[in-house]
DNA sequence: GACACAAATGTTATGATATTACACATCCTT
DNA sequence: AAGGATGTGTAATATCATAACATTTGTGTC
């Protein structure tokens, strides 16, 4: 189960869970120096494992990481992210129609998909109003 | 028009157009040292302009750049990329249904989208067969 | 417990990607 | 010619990520 994380994994997970916005690996490292972490690799290794477990997602367009918003987000399904460039808030959603359309394209083109990234950058409702 | 590129912009554009796979900014720089380019910024500035013009796309999941496959790819439309992790080939396509679904989500959530990234990593038909 | 194996850790160094700051040149409009 | 917008050259620095190696910890088997 996801309960038996190692010390470093748990530290990184706690940091991401408590964050209001995506964090870079180095930001995580800085927040964990007080807990004894010293090298980027300690964070990257934990992130790799947490991502495998589906507890953390990497945002490619940000080079940053975010805790999964769902209780048990299965890796299988296609996840889309809406990322606010002002406040950093990330919303995570999935859409079967989008998944079907992309699956249709890959199937008809003989493309074998491994991982799909959908990231919408912009402004969330709160921040768009303020503009 | 797109014809009056500056020297550096034209050099970068030519390099990307002739490439078989996406190139990183530093790879472009290395290929253009013979033409007098010396600093990363010369490449990044050209890439920024070319991206604005819609002649080049940035692949977020690769931190790399690719020449637009379409004659006149308007920035407006939503573009998806299928990227082969073996041979590097990139196919560019768009899908109105996907666009509508994502637009629907953002509209209903008050999210104002600025830029959307869709990247499918995997293996192209040619490479998937060889596996 | 002793052993063997897999997984995780600690540490140093290095590689790869991207931007800031500043001085100068070029082009275009008035 | 003056002014502004855009592009250029250069050095320095910031940010993101991995390689290599030695060591430790957890886990299952005997
Ligand atoms: Zn999730
Ligand atoms: Zn916001
Ligand atoms: Zn295009
Ligand atoms: Zn291929």
Residue B131: pLDDT band (50, 70, 90) is low
H helical segments located in chain A? 7-17, 25-31, 40-52, 96-108, 125-130
Between B76 and B14, name the one with better pLDDT: B14
Domain B7-67 matches domain B73-130 at the CATH topology level:
no
Report the mean per-residue pLDDT for chain A.
Answer: 93
- According to the model, what pLDDT value does residue A2 have? 41
SS3 label, residue B47:
helix
Task: Please report which helix (H) or strand (E) contains residue B97, including its range.
Answer: helix B96-108
Residue appearing with tokens 């690769």: B62
Domain ranges in chain A are 7-67, 73-130
* Residue pointed to by tokens 């964070």: A43
pLDDT of residue B75: 59
Helix/strand/coil for B107? helix
CA B26 to CA B18: how far, in whole Å?
16
Query: Could you tell me if B56 and B13 are in contact, meaning their C-beta atoms sit under 8 angstroms apart?
Result: yes
| Residue B129 confidence (pLDDT) | 80
What per-residue confidence (pLDDT) applies to B74? 65
Least confident of A74-78, A79-83, A112-116, B64-68: A74-78
What's the CA-to-centroid distance between B25 and ligand 4, angstroms? 22
B53-98 tens-digit pLDDT: 999 999 999 999 999 998 776 656 899 999 999 999 999 999 999 9
Q: Which CATH class is domain B7-67?
A: mainly alpha
Minimal C-alpha gap between B4 and chain A (Å): 30
Footprint of strand C on the protein (CB under 7 A): A 6-9, 36-42, 45-46, 49; B 24-27, 39-41, 44, 63-64
Distance, CA of A131 to C1' of C10, in Å: 47
**CATH (residue range A73-130):** 3.30.1490.190
- B80/B90 Cα distance (integer angstroms): 10
Which residues of A have a CB under 8 Å from any CB of B?
Answer: 60-61, 80, 82, 84-85, 91, 93, 95, 97-98, 101-102, 105-106, 109-125, 128-129
Q: What is the pLDDT of residue A98?
A: 98
């Amino acid at each position: 189960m996801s309960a038996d994380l190692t010390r470093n994994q748990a530290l990184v997970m706690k940091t991401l869970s408590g964050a209001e916005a995506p964090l870079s690996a180095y930001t995580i490292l800085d927040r964990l120096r007080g807990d004894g972490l010293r090298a980027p690799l300690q964070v990257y290794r934990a992130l790799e494992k947490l991502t495998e477990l589906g507890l953390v997602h990497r945002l490619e367009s940000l080079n940053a990481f975010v805790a999964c918003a769902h209780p048990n987000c299965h890796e299988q399904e296609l996840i889309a992210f809406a990322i606010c460039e002002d406040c950093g808030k990330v919303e995570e959603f999935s859409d079967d129609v989008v998944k079907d359309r992309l699956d249709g394209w890959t199937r008809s083109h003989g493309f074998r998909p491994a991982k799909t990234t959908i990231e919408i950058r912009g402004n969330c409702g709160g921040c768009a109003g303020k503009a």
